[in-house]
Amino acid sequence: MTEKARKGKAIEEVYRSVSQHDHILLRPDTYVGAVARQTETRFVFEDGRIVEKEVSYAPALYKIFDEIIVNAADNAVRSKDMDRIEVTIDEEHGTITVWNNGAGVPVAKHKETGLWVPHMMFGVLLTSDNFDDDEKKLTGGRNGFGAKLTNIYSTSFTIETGDTARKKRYLQVFSDNMTEAGEPEIEKYKGDSFTKITFTPDFERFGMRSLDSDILSLMRKRVYDVAGTTPAKVKVFLNGQQVNVDSYKEYCRLYFEEPESPEAQSKILFHGTGTRWEVVIAAADASFKQVSHVNSICTSRGGTHVNMIADQVVAAIAKKVQKQYKGARTVRKAIIRDCLFIFVNSMIENPAFDSQTKETLMTPPKNFGTRCKLPPKALESSLGDIVERIVGILEANDVLSDRKLLDVKSKGKNASFVPKLSDAHKAGTAQSDKCTLILTEGDSAKALALAGVSVVGFEYYGVLPLKGKPANVRNVSAKKTVENSDILTVLKAMGLNPAEEYTRSRQSLRYGSIMLMMDQDPDGSHIKGLVINMIHWWWPELLQVDGFVKQFVTPIVKVWRPSGPKLSFYTLQEYEDWKDQVDDPQRWRQKYYKGLGTSTSQEGKEYFKDLAKHVIRYKWDDDDGDEADAICLAFDSQRSDDRKDWINQYAGEAYIDHSVTEMSYTDFVNKELVHFSKYSLDRAVPRMVDGLKPSQRKALFAAFKRNLTRDVKVAQLVGYITEQTAYHHGETSMEGAVVKLAHDFVGSNNINLFVPSGQFGTRLRGGDDNAASRYIFTHLNPITRYIFRQEDDPVLSYLKDDGQSIEPQVFVPIIPMALVNGCNGIGTGWSTSVPCYNPRDVIANIRRSLEGGEMQDMFPWYRGFQGSFERKAGGKGWTSRGCVQFEGTKGQREIYVISELPIGKWTDSYKEVLAKMHKDCKIDKIREFCTDTMVRFEVFIKPPKKTVKAFDPTSFFKLTSAVREDIWLFDAQGVMRCYQDPLELMGDFIPLRLKAYEERKKFMMGHLSCKAELLRNKVAFIELVVTEKMTLAGRPMTDIAEALRGHGIKRLADIEKLRYTPSAERGDGDDQEGAAAGAEEEGGGGEEAQEAAELAAIKEDYGYLLTMQLWALTDERRVALKEELRKVEAEIEDLAPTSTKILWIRDLDALSGELDKLDAQVAAQEQSALAEVELAFENRGKPAKKRAARSSRARKKPPPAPPKPPPPGDAAAASAAGEGIV
């Protein structure tokens, strides 16, 4: 406290003495850590595994939970008969209970204090049985705080313990942060000993109201820690479910994807056990990682025990690398350490930590009690993958330092060694600092650049085309980086060497600057960013030289009038802003420049004649570190969460002002590169409303426009799609989109929107075995139009490209197809994974919602899948299980038949799993009876050994897979949103679809009203002519028009006013009117033009009558039109009172009928395929003649009737029908 602050205060106010209890509450950091939320990257339990992610939590809350669970784990050391720990977390009420059996706390009074021992142990500070330092203890407690800290930071804390020796049971409740201690309740007890602690944290002190998802994921992870680090006999339960971790090695596998898979098992390279030690070593992805425990305490920051293990591993690997690597130089320990992921489970005598939070072990190794010595030979032999990786790093560094590969003589003029480089004449000379290397996007852009360079001369300008996108060199091995040909050619052309710094040696470069000449589209911005990222990663000092990197800009749109100069726009947003500011944008002609290839050579010369106008220099404006941070934000693989925030703040109207001559790297990232990141996300992640990505939406729109009911080659269809939707990417990408829309094998679509006519791919390889697009045909599946209703087409909001109307912004199907067919995608900052669900369950839930009921939970469902699903622990994601049946024994072997694989596993890849098991002698023999649609493996194994744990064939044969449920999709407003479950998505979808029905009904009413009015006026006109009340022959057009008006005949313009303009189209302006206005401006004037305009207007008003043929002006035609009018009026009468909900139900009924047909068709196909497989299976080992005879009889036998599909919405029945696991 300053003197100024002390002034006026009493001595008693300045100097205070507080109790230990109050000090703990006043200074939590000293005892339990911060009570305020902190955002850190921690390991958490999520989706069935342990992952590293950024969480926001109060460390103190985490610590008070940890104190109680460590107490329970300690008891496993003290009490040899302890074998069970139960943890219950009541999320709703915020109450946590930890129970363990084994020796409890003595229920006896302490002679010195007169208090019961449980009261002292849990309610009196500095009470412990750990103060005897002469006794070697292997527990986590040390200082006498422990569980008392939990009591102090809780509103309620209950002790319950049973003492078998004294035959007493003790119960006591503390409250108000341990200030109130209730009277203990003691009764006789004859059961087994136990201890049970129940507490409710004081959430107000932690700035919380309840337990949130972040702290829960941390707590779950600690429960799994205890399950993995305590003896195998100790079974740990979380919320009533046993934690399926039986060993420390099994615990370590949780840190890898699909922990139960062979891939996760293979990531563990070394597993060593010894007295009080267990060590597991795996390879780290990017930098050193460790997971360590001391006496069941999680030492998240490591310490002396981890260093002791790491030093041994590093020494063993270094020795092996020295033998294998011929570079004959010492390997830096830091390189080896960065490749290691070390797990340590240790028991250490009387451990000492850096603080009460116990995150770092400080005990010197000599005081551990035992020393863990890892066998060097075993390490060397098992860590070969890491050795190879380090050798690769060293070899790559040698490659990067190889002057012969990367560098050229600084004074050399000729650079013919670089393919396609048109070298500047002065490059590599004393004037190289004046030279600029122009990097272009492709060969066509090089031609444009050379045309321009011909104006300014070839002395100081070189041109090098890039083949594609350079690699992102950040967080990637150097060896892999130099394998990218674009990067290697840039390094050669520039004379750059990644092993050097250029703070003072820029004169050694062949060029003094780089100019980026890319398309003015998002992909072009991405290429610019990748080049900038490469320079920043290897030579950040070069970016600090203003103008070392420059950008050449070309127009993306040019507009002009017949007489007047052309205006150029360098971004679409600039162009849109200009259109908003002028009164008549339709009167201007326009040309879109989709790429540099659109510009002519003459335009290229014009660009270079005014070079200053087209060049922007990048400058390093980094007083506050923003420049480096912006580049890292865009390209660092470790900053995906930051990129989410970046894109969430995306403002589509932000763009670079191309009138400037200089631009910071921060502006480039936030105003230009961000458009690519958003664009890449748009391409990768579907919309919630229709479940489609842009390429899929384009394919569907083109098929609808073409009314694709007959087969057409996929290659031809792709050409049509490209033409009709202004598709700007490669044909291969669109071909893939069409093929995937037609996939109908198990594990793909539940409803394929296109029909596969030919080999579109099978479950053998997950669709990757499809034929080339020129060989396969497709057309729309008839059911598709029952989902994407044709009646909705007029009310959709259609996009425009270069003035061309293309696909809608989003379709509005009658069911959310994102759930029916599922989806997967990875974009900038996000990834999405949505399982498939039964369309009948979806329909049933929609009906329930429309009727005012509650929707029911849905289980994943894949058409034809015979396995099952179960929800993962923690409620996020699913486990898919295949089918395996015990068929009996043959000799000394057991026979199992595998008849279904889990979702995401394909037949060919699973065969490799079985082959490896056979190679490892886990199975004796494999017989395959698989087809393109069915799975059937017959496997022979030796009878498994009898163990306490029952043999699980599903686990043994690796027949499980993780099905993620990470529902990130663009919502109706185009914003990325995470839906917690399918029902939340449907809750968003249903109001949107009802609104679409309102629009559809208004449009249909307007359309029918307009049609009825046209028919009425046609009937009236015919009656006038037939009854000779009006004659047409020999009369001038103006006279006829006047007569029609006199008889009350409506003009077409007045009738058209009855039509309804969908909200999506309002305010768009009339392109046709603009075109007419432009034509009028170009044409001449005068009386003739005026007269022609008047006649055109009359034809426009009454052309629908005056163009009728003579045969239509008869009484028979009048009767026919009146009958047609009657039918239209009946439609209006039917539609007008019909609610939007009824319209939807009618559509759902129609779709349900189509699903019945689809189910029957698929069932018949499955029965036929199954019969063939069963026949082959039954005939195994029989002579060929008998097989042929049996096959002939089987073909004559009619196929069995398809099973009746489950009723709509019966999710339980559908799930039960899919179960087939033994």
Q: Provide the pLDDT for residue 1170.
A: 82
Is beta strand 194-201 parallel, antiparallel or unpaired with respect to 95-101? Answer: antiparallel
How many whole angstroms separate alpha carbon 1118 and alpha carbon 1105?
Answer: 13
What pairs with residue 272 in β-bridges?
279
Q: Is pLDDT above 50 for 691?
A: yes
3 state SS for 35-104:
CCCEEEEEEEEECCEEEEEEEEECHHHHHHHHHHHHHHHHHHHHCCCCCEEEEEEECCCCEEEEEEECCC
- CA quadruple 715, 716, 720, 726: dihedral positive or negative? positive
Same domain for 206 and 322?
no
Residues 841-900 pLDDT 10s: 999 999 999 999 999 999 999 999 999 999 887 667 899 999 999 999 988 899 999 999
Q: What single DSSP character describes residue 209?
A: S
Q: What single DSSP character describes residue 542?
A: H
Q: Is pLDDT above 80 for 327?
A: no
How many whole angstroms separate alpha carbon 1183 and alpha carbon 1175?
Answer: 14
Cβ within 8 Å of residue 209, ≥6 positions away: 203
Which three-class secondary structure state does DSSP give residue 186? strand
- Burial class of residue 237 in the structure, from the number of CB atoms within 10 Å of its CB (0-12 exposed, 13-18 middle, 19+ buried): middle
Q: CATH number for the domain including 986? A: 1.10.268.10
What mean pLDDT comes out for the span 709-728?
A: 93
Question: To the nearest whole percent, how much of the chain has pLDDT over 90?
Answer: 47
Cβ within 8 Å of residue 618, ≥6 positions away: 532, 543, 546, 547, 548, 549, 550, 551, 662, 663, 664, 665, 668
Considering the domain boundaries, does residue 79 fall inside one? Answer: yes
Residue type, 695: S
Q: Provide the pLDDT for residue 983.
A: 96
Q: Provide the pLDDT for residue 1220.
A: 25
Considering the domain boundaries, does residue 93 fall inside one? Answer: yes
Q: Which of 86-90, 426-430, 759-763 has the lowest mean pLDDT?
A: 426-430
Considering the domain boundaries, does residue 625 fall inside one? Answer: yes
Containing 158, the helix (H) or strand (E) segment is: strand 154-163
Same domain for 202 and 299?
no
Residues 94-150 pLDDT 10s: 999 999 998 888 999 888 888 989 998 898 887 765 544 555 565 545 555 788 999
Q: Where are the alpha helices (DSSP H) in 421-553?
A: 443-456, 478-482, 485-494, 522-538, 540-543
Structure tokens at 1122: 């009146």
Catalytic residues: 775
Residues 948-961 pLDDT 10s: 567 899 999 999 99
What pairs with residue 934 in β-bridges?
none
Is beta strand 615-619 parallel, antiparallel or unpaired with respect to 662-664? Answer: parallel
Q: Is pLDDT above 80 for 969?
A: yes
What pairs with residue 101 in β-bridges?
194
Tell me the pTM: 0.65
Considering the domain boundaries, does residue 1170 fall inside one? Answer: no
- Whether residue 67 contacts residue 146, with contact meaning beta carbons closer than 8 Å, is answered with yes
Q: Is pLDDT above 50 for 619?
A: yes
Same domain for 389 and 443?
no
**Final residue belonging to a domain, choices 1113, 1138, 1163:** 1138
Same domain for 521 and 663?
yes
Of 324, 316, 322, 319, which Cα lies nearest the Cα of 376? 316
How many whole angstroms separate alpha carbon 494 and alpha carbon 503?
Answer: 16
Q: Provide the pLDDT for residue 41.
A: 85
Same domain for 101 and 27?
yes
Average pLDDT score, the chain = 84
Considering the domain boundaries, does residue 1209 fall inside one? Answer: no
Q: CATH number for the domain including 203? A: 3.30.565.10
Q: Provide the pLDDT for residue 557.
A: 86
Residue with tokens 């009876």, as numbered in its chain: 929
Residue with tokens 């911060």, as numbered in its chain: 34
Which three-class secondary structure state does DSSP give residue 758? coil
Q: Provide the pLDDT for residue 1081.
A: 33
Structure tokens at 650: 């995306």
Please count the other Cβ atoms lying within 10 Å of the Cβ belonging to residue 817. Answer: 28
Q: Which of 61-75, 833-847, 1086-1100 has the lowest mean pLDDT?
A: 1086-1100
CA 183 to chain centre: 55
**Final residue belonging to a domain, choices 1082, 1117, 1138:** 1138
Q: Provide the pLDDT for residue 56.
A: 86
**Final residue belonging to a domain, choices 680, 704, 726:** 680
Cα-atom radius of gyration of the chain, to the nearest Å? 38
Cβ within 8 Å of residue 1217, ≥6 positions away: 1206
Same domain for 95 and 217?
yes
Q: CATH number for the domain including 644? A: 3.40.50.670
CA 740 to chain centre: 19
- Whether residue 432 contacts residue 509, with contact meaning beta carbons closer than 8 Å, is answered with yes
Residue type, 49: R
Of 932, 945, 934, 933, which Cα lies nearest the Cα of 897? 934
Residues 351-369 pLDDT 10s: 888 776 788 888 888 888 8
For 826, phi then psi, to 5°, come to -130, 120
How many whole angstroms separate alpha carbon 995 and alpha carbon 288?
Answer: 54
Considering the domain boundaries, does residue 12 fall inside one? Answer: no
Residues 199-223 pLDDT 10s: 999 999 998 888 988 999 999 999 9
Give the range of the structural domain holding residue 140, as residue numbers without chain letter: 19-246
Q: CATH number for the domain including 809? A: 3.90.199.10
Listing DSSP states for 870-886 in one string gives EEPTTSSSEEEE-EEEE
Same domain for 358 and 418?
no
Which three-class secondary structure state does DSSP give residue 735? helix
Considering the domain boundaries, does residue 910 fall inside one? Answer: no
Residues 167-200 pLDDT 10s: 999 999 999 999 999 999 999 999 999 999 999 9
Give the chain's length.
Answer: 1222
Which three-class secondary structure state does DSSP give residue 966? strand
Considering the domain boundaries, does residue 837 fall inside one? Answer: no
Same domain for 669 and 742?
no
Same domain for 440 and 313?
no
Q: At what angle do helices 1087-1106 and 982-1026 cross, to 10 degrees?
A: 100
For residue 951, give Cα distances in angstroms to 63, 451, 899, 948, 955: 39, 74, 19, 9, 9
Same domain for 355 and 421?
no
Same domain for 317 and 352?
yes
Structurally, how many domains does the chain consist of? 5
Same domain for 673 and 818?
no
Q: CATH number for the domain including 378? A: 3.30.230.10
Structure tokens at 786: 């029952």
3 state SS for 1054-1113:
HHHCCCCCCCCCCCCCCHHHHHHHHHHHHCCCCHHHHHHHHHHHHHHHHHHHHCCCHHHC
Of 734, 761, 733, 726, which Cα lies nearest the Cα of 747? 761
Residues 382-431 pLDDT 10s: 888 888 777 766 765 665 555 445 544 444 445 556 888 999 999 989 89
Structure tokens at 764: 């053998």
3 state SS for 974-1027:
CCEEEECCHHHHHHHHHHHHHHHHHHHHHHHHHHHHHHHHHHHHHHHHHHHHHC
